[in-house]
Structure 1
């Protein structure tokens, strides 16, 4: 019974591939990329200052990981590239309405670009189709963001490595766990719903 329900969802697909496209694939892909960039920019405006840190807690990282997972590596990369480039050009949609290159938190934007690409590639291999796989995908994506963002924070502010970890990693771990839990529920549930409709 379960095999028959899942059969219409081909392997190697991400959620965005299941949208009807037919002759208009380029237009659909363009809309998805621009929509992913806009979603990340909107989520970045949900910003809560962290005492003692120049980096706020935002919805930006969660949005970036969802965009990468739902769109796949290529479209996820393009969406976050548009987000980064337009923000660098002056669009006030980085965290808390900021814009422009540089700044203490810009490394996280660069990390999101890489993370969206990686989680998109994992999603195409089934990384978002079960709770455990989704958890692993989200943890790896978050780790990539911090692997770029924290060293950038240290370099841009002159902080020591331990101070950058204390200001740019430790305060965010609980929130990231909650975001991963949301993704662990939402993404596999979306695949199950699609399988039933198929």
Structure 2
């Protein structure tokens, strides 16, 4: 009986450690930042980690993103541009951060169930990125501008928060799928 308790404790510890490692990786990837002069949303490397971690660690990736967001809210300067605090999460880019959490849990749940084909993997990654992260990000971006008294047209909203990011995100999706394919072969 003691062995089972020890194994359970080790399992919990390893899950917390793995989630923390991916939270740190997200924070590091956030520092790969390219500001866009026409948008408050920068190009960052975060989405690669957000999309890859569910493929490798399942639902724990959602926990890693919760850790990332909560520790960032607490003041750790690991949001894009070495920033931290609640103001980032309630600001123009906060919806993307919330989208990271949701997308990680959704993808993690799907990929915990069974291995997926390469085509299926690409489709799920695209859905998580464009369907979840973009949707939540664009909603908050629109809300943020509305609170400031500026109502964006759909075209303006998409040109600030989606269209410029599509080529980079497609690259990250392909990279995450490629790494996952190699991981499956080595497993």
Question: What is the Cα deviation at residue 162 of structure 1?
Answer: 2.8
Matched-pair contact (CA < 8 Å) for 2:51–2:173: no
Partners of 2:134 and 2:56 in 1: how far apart?
21
Q: Which consecutive residues of structure 2, in runs of 5 or more, have no partner in the other structure?
A: 1-5
Q: Is the 8 A contact 1:69 1:116 kept in 2?
A: no
Instruction: Say yes or no: does 1:43 pair with 2:36.
Output: no
Within 5 A, what are the aligned runs for 1:99-118? 99-101=84-86, 102-118=90-106
Following TM superposition, where does structure 1 have runs of at least 4 consecutive aligned residues deviating by more than 6 angstroms?
Answer: none
Shift of 1:137: 1.7
Q: CA deviation at 1:105?
A: 0.4
Aligned partner of 1:131 among 83, 107, 118: 118
Say whether 1:91 aligns with 2:76: yes
Distance 1:117 1:192 in 2: 24
2:134 corresponds to 1:146: yes
Q: 2-side partners of 1:82 and 1:190: how far apart? A: 25
C-alpha RMSD of matched pairs (Å): 1.6
Separation in structure 2 between the aligned mates of residue 191 and residue 69 of structure 1, nearest angstrom: 10
How many residues are treated as equivalent by the alignment? Answer: 172
* Residue 3 (structure 2) aligns with: none
> TM-score scaled to structure 2, two decimals?
0.86
Distance in 2 (CA, whole Å) between partners of 1:53 and 1:111 is 18
- Distance (Å, rounded) in 2 between the aligned partners of 1:51 and 1:119: 32
Quick one: distance in 2 between partners of 1:69 and 1:176? 16
CA distance in 1, matches of 2:34, 2:100: 19
